[in-house]
Amino acid sequence: MTDELLDKALVEEATKKSGLIWVRSDAVPVLQAQGPAASSRALWHVWHDGAACLLGDGPGEQPLPGLVDGGGAVVTVRSKDKGGRLVAWSAKVVELTPSSPEWEAAVAELKGKRLNAPDGEAMTGRWAQECRVLRLEPTGTTGELPAGSLSAPPLPTPATTRQPAPAGLPRLLFKKRRRP
């Protein structure tokens, strides 16, 4: 019983203090995992009422691939100061219905953490129409932290650099200035 309470406290405190959590849907076993839905994703969140609340899947918001209502997820929490993994925990995914009391409470917390929203105060209306709000409720099981780095190649993206740097650029940047 004491170990369960300590695990619950660790999950709550670590998740509250971390700005990002790494989330992976447990619908696909790790060894068979392929594609964006199978890999862990860094997601911003808020801890509210005993669960991690996420917002996404709308225009300009974070993607939530593989996370479905009633499904499961594995959450890995990192240390805010050192960046190392602190705890991994299993979660049940619950999608909140827009305008329900639970949705309103979660959105009030998320609104305070959302940075650089393009529509300011109107964002909650947009979230109700175009986005999903999910609760990741801890199931009480914490997993062993992996020994390896779990590094993976970056996911495909349309973002690219404009052009290669001009050949003369290093000379312009690093030439010595003459003193008058």
| Domains within the chain, CATH numbers bracketed | 2-174 (2.30.110.10)
Residue ranges of alpha helices (H) inside 44-86 are none
Nearest-angstrom CA–CA distance, 91 and 144: 15
> What is the CA angle 161-167-172, rounded to 5?
105
- At 115, which amino acid appears? L
Counting Cβ atoms within 10 Å, is residue 8 exposed (0-12), middle (13-18) or buried (19+)? middle
Mean pLDDT by 10 residues, the chain (180 residues): 84 90 76 53 93 91 90 89 85 95 94 82 90 93 74 75 76 71
What pTM was estimated for this model as a whole? 0.76
Maximum C-alpha span of the chain: 76
Q: Residue 170 carries which DSSP code? A: H
